[in-house]
């Protein structure tokens, strides 16, 4: 068994682990990656997300990401998952890490508006509404998603000793801000963004309007997380919270692979009094080191028992401007990119590290660009 | 590792294996069960199936089976999965064996008409038409199902060293007869039935009419299995064939858990020139010993390399008439009941055997009956 330091993976919120990673928690023989795709009309508020080249395309973002994991190209839309100026979807990192490591994956559809052309696990949910108007989704759908998630999680945990859960939902940091606020967590100016100029004021305004329209005050729903989601959340949240619940109750280990959005999942689980043992967060250093958000502080308000692992993907060293963008505040994370990179590094016992990943990501990026040439 | 004879599991078609089971093929650390649910309007031909208490209920059979695996009761229909005279769905055996053994499972929906209220893997398919009229489904849907199955199978094989695949599709032995005939396998009077009076003449007539309406002759499509399915098959077939293909190409092991229907899958795979190594059939002794069908002969026409394992569930020794019915020619098999029982026995290294299973099945049966009291 591997002991010692892993290149390019560090724990950033637990001092005893920070210099030398605690490999015990992350060691896994049979990990699996679950990508939960979803949609909230909150993403339609102008200026809220970089995902999707234009507003009409946002709904294709998450199914296109899911298709990219399987095929290396998109199917539901005849386009490459790259902004016109060359910034790729983080799914390019996820696909590369999955292929290098041989880690299997499944996609869960929890309310995406366009269905991906792949085999996917359906939770039979509607997409989420714009939380600005004070209503996101029905409570019955939330309960169903949590129940289905729990059922799925317990099946996954029977054969996989570690489950990495990522998400793709444009607008998801705004709904995270909403639910965290309803649950009494001070998240203003702390949630991350897919853009270097984090539109905090716009997010704060959308959440404020939503709370006003629903007649809800900060922290008022701290003991009623399902209502918090129904007012200010999105369909990804109860689905992911349920999957985590199913796994942890079975005694399994889970990594929430994502940025500040994943704190809303932990807040929901904590409010439901679900145990949090065996749980960690895994993300990119681009989220962790982001001066415009504060993942560590958000999590600290919730618990001291969930470690945050981050990985440096050396994107700044890439010769590709589109990949350098990750290190310059664009995209940063998504589709579980950071978490699955961490597991690829850990599972390989260090054979895979940031530089090897970067070279492989560059190759994948060139392949995608070739398609439009 | 367990060596030697396993009580209540035998191999019936390979002489060197018949007295002492070849445990090597079946040994598995991390098996998973996949239940593929589907629908063909062929089941609406009066007299063709026992599934569903009346013709309007047939479409609920497979989703209700899938729900039963998760919950121990049905959700999409307010009914117990038992015929009015007490004969239960074979899902009662499957659920019991899954629970006793701790084997995980996932449900794949390949064209069921009613969707189950569970998390399920969607192949986004339409249900199959009545093959009597010479058209079952579009080729494009068949190709998609095979592709999705292959994608899913390769993911499953990465973490599960053995995959058991069962099915629930009323009317499925008639479509099996259809596809086998189109592929040049003499299957008349050889396919099984959920009833003791096997309606062979009705099945033969439906397939004859279908072939006539499509202007197809026996064996004419032996090199074109997708067209054979599109004329005389059902949506379960390309989905299951694809999953098997994905697993075997990855080097994994698969058990087709079912009766004569599974021979149509092997015929399709053989016609596609897919390798068959690592493949076996697992079923109940009620199918294997059925004087009104001939599983061994069907398979022999296709290959000598696929062993058939069967298990005796001692239903005749049950005090419950509804369970005795399995040994009297009713139901016999379905929802992977026989195969998953075999894996439960093998995985437990003989700790679980037919008698233990029977007691647990009786308990489950009583629980279900209590619901209607």
Q: How far apart are CA B144 and CA B302, in angstroms?
A: 25
Answer yes or no: are the C-beta atoms of A343 and A350 closer than 8 Å. no
Upper half-sphere CA count for residue B101 (Cβ side, 13 Å):
32
Q: How far apart are CA B144 and CA A118, in angstroms?
A: 9
Give how far Cα A329 sits from Cα of A196, B308, B317, Å. Answer: 4, 59, 70
Q: Which tokens go with B141?
A: 């849907």
Of the candidates A287, A264, A276, the one whose C-alpha atom is nearest the C-alpha of residue A337 is: A287
Give per-residue burial for A33-55: e unless 16+ CB within 10 Å, then b. bbbbbbbbbbbbbeebbbbbbee
pLDDT tens-place values along chain A, 373 residues long? 344 556 788 899 987 655 455 667 898 989 999 999 999 999 999 988 876 557 788 999 999 999 999 999 999 998 878 887 888 999 999 999 999 999 999 999 999 999 999 999 999 999 999 999 999 999 999 999 999 999 999 999 999 999 999 999 999 999 999 999 999 999 999 999 988 999 999 999 999 999 999 999 999 999 999 999 999 999 999 999 999 999 999 999 999 999 999 999 999 999 999 999 999 999 999 999 999 999 999 999 999 999 999 999 999 999 999 999 999 999 899 999 999 999 999 999 889 998 999 999 999 999 998 877 7
Q: In A, which residues are within 8 Å of B117 by CB distance?
A: 124
What is the ipTM score, two decimals?
0.92
Of the candidates A21, A162, A95, the one whose C-alpha atom is nearest the C-alpha of residue A357 is: A95
Task: Note whether A159 contacts B32, CB cutoff 8 Å.
Answer: yes
Q: How far apart are CA B145 and CA B151, in angstroms?
A: 10
Instruction: Look up the pTM and report it.
Output: 0.94
Measured in angstroms, the CA of A155 and the nearest CA of chain B are apart by 5
Q: How far apart are CA A67 and CA A63, in angstroms?
A: 6
Nearest CA in chain A to B148: A119
Instruction: List the single range of A99-103, A298-302, B32-36, B192-196 with lowest mean pLDDT.
Output: B192-196
Q: How far apart are CA B35 and CA B146, in angstroms?
A: 16
B19 has pLDDT over 50? no
Instruction: Flag whether residue A123 sits within 8 Å of chain B, measured between CB atoms.
Output: yes
Q: How far apart are CA A288 and CA A13, in angstroms?
A: 10
Between positions 255 and 284 of A, the ones with CB within 8 A of B are none
B4 has pLDDT over 70? no
Determine the pLDDT at residue B14: 85
Give the DSSP letter string of B254-317.
Answer: EEEESSTHHHHHHHHHHHTT---TTEEEEEEHHHHT-TT--HHHHHHHH-SSS-EEEE---GGG
Nearest CA in chain B to A115: B124
Nearest CA in chain B to A149: B119
Mean pLDDT of chain B: 93
Substitution target from A119, A247, A344 for chain B, most B beta carbons within 10 A: A119
Q: Which tokens go with A96?
A: 């590369």
Q: How confident is the model at residue B78 (pLDDT cuts 50, 70, 90)?
A: confident
Q: How far apart are CA A327 and CA A338, in angstroms?
A: 13
Task: Note whether A158 contacts B123, CB cutoff 8 Å.
Answer: no
Task: Note whether A109 contacts B118, CB cutoff 8 Å.
Answer: no
Nearest CA in chain B to A70: B151
Give how far Cα A23 sits from Cα of A102, A161, A323, B264, Å. Answer: 20, 14, 29, 48
Determine the pLDDT at residue B53: 56
From the list A119, A123, A159, the residue facing B123 with the nearest CB is A119
Q: In B, which residues are within 8 Å of A119 by CB distance?
A: 108, 121-123, 148-149, 151-152
Q: In A, which residues are within 8 Å of B118 by CB distance?
A: 148, 151
- Which DSSP helix (H) or strand (E) runs through A173? helix A172-182
Q: How far apart are CA B61 and CA B63, in angstroms?
A: 6
Measured in angstroms, the CA of B106 and the nearest CA of chain A are apart by 8
Q: In B, which residues are within 8 Å of A160 by CB distance?
A: 159
Measured in angstroms, the CA of B332 and the nearest CA of chain A are apart by 27
From the list A118, A148, A155, the residue facing B105 with the nearest CB is A155
Measured in angstroms, the CA of A236 and the nearest CA of chain B are apart by 14
Beta bridge partners of B256: B165, B281
Instruction: Flag whether residue B70 sits within 8 Å of chain A, measured between CB atoms.
Output: yes
Determine the pLDDT at residue A264: 98
From the list B30, B105, B156, the residue facing A30 with the nearest CB is B30
Q: In B, which residues are within 8 Å of A149 by CB distance?
A: 119
Task: Note whether A119 contacts B119, CB cutoff 8 Å.
Answer: no
**pLDDT > 70 fraction of chain B, expressed in percent and rounded:** 95
B168 has pLDDT over 70? yes
Instruction: Flag whether residue B109 sits within 8 Å of chain A, measured between CB atoms.
Output: yes
B54 has pLDDT over 80? no
Beta bridge partners of B11: B309
Answer yes or no: are the C-beta atoms of A150 and A246 closer than 8 Å. yes
Give how far Cα A330 sits from Cα of A49, A290, B255, Å. Answer: 11, 10, 47
Q: Which tokens go with A148?
A: 């289905």
Nearest CA in chain A to B159: A30
Answer yes or no: are the C-beta atoms of A149 and A123 closer than 8 Å. yes
Other beta carbons within 10 Å of B116: 27
Task: Note whether B117 contacts A123, CB cutoff 8 Å.
Answer: no
Upper half-sphere CA count for residue B199 (Cβ side, 13 Å):
17
Q: Which residue has the higher pLDDT, A104 or B332?
A: A104
Question: pLDDT tens digits for B270-292?
Answer: 999 999 999 999 999 999 999 99
B2 has pLDDT over 80? no
B320 has pLDDT over 80? yes
Task: Note whether B152 contacts A119, CB cutoff 8 Å.
Answer: yes
B171 has pLDDT over 60? yes
Helices in chain B by DSSP H: which ranges?
Answer: 15-18, 23-26, 61-71, 91-101, 139-159, 172-182, 200-214, 225-232, 236-249, 261-271, 285-288, 295-302, 321-327, 337-347, 354-372
């Amino acid at each position: 068994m591997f002991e010692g330091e892993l290149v390019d993976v560090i724990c950033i919120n637990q001092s005893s682990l920070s210099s030398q990673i605690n490999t015990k928690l992350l060691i896994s023989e049979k990990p699996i990656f679950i990508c939960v795709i979803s949609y909230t009309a909150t993403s339609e508020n102008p200026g809220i997300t970089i995902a999707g080249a234009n507003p009409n395309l946002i709904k294709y973002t998450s199914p296109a990401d899911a298709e990219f994991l399987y095929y290396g190209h998109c199917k539901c839309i005849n386009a490459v998952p790259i902004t016109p100026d060359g910034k790729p979807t983080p799914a390019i990192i996820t696909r590369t890490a999955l292929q290098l490591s041989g880690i299997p994956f499944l996609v869960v559809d929890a309310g995406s508006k366009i269905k991906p052309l792949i085999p996917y696990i359906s939770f039979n949910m509607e997409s989420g509404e714009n939380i600005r108007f004070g209503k996101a989704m029905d409570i019955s759908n939330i309960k169903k998603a949590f129940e289905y998630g729990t059922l799925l999680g317990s099946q996954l945990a029977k054969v996989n000793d570690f489950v990495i859960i990522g998400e793709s939902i444009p607008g998801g940091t705004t709904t995270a801000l909403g639910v965290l606020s309803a649950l009494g967590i001070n998240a203003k100016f702390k949630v991350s963004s897919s853009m270097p100029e984090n539109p905090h004021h716009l997010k704060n305004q959308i959440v404020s309007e939503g709370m006003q329209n629903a007649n809800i005050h900060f922290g008022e729903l701290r003991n009623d997380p399902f209502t918090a989601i129904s007012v200010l959340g999105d369909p990804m949240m109860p689905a992911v919270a349920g999957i985590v619940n199913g796994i942890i109750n079975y005694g399994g280990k889970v990594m929430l692979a994502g940025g500040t959005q994943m704190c809303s999942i932990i807040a929901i689980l904590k409010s439901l009094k679900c145990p949090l043992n065996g749980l960690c967060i895994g993300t990119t250093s681009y989220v962790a080191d982001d001066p415009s958000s504060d993942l560590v502080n958000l999590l600290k308000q919730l618990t001291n028992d969930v470690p945050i692992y981050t990985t440096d993907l050396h994107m700044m060293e890439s010769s590709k401007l589109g990949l350098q963008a990750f290190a310059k505040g664009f995209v940063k994370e998504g589709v579980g990119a950071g978490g699955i990179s961490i597991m690829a590094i850990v599972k390989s016992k260090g054979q895979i590290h940031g530089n090897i990943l970067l070279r492989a990501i560059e190759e994948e990026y060139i392949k995608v660009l070739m398609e439009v040439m």
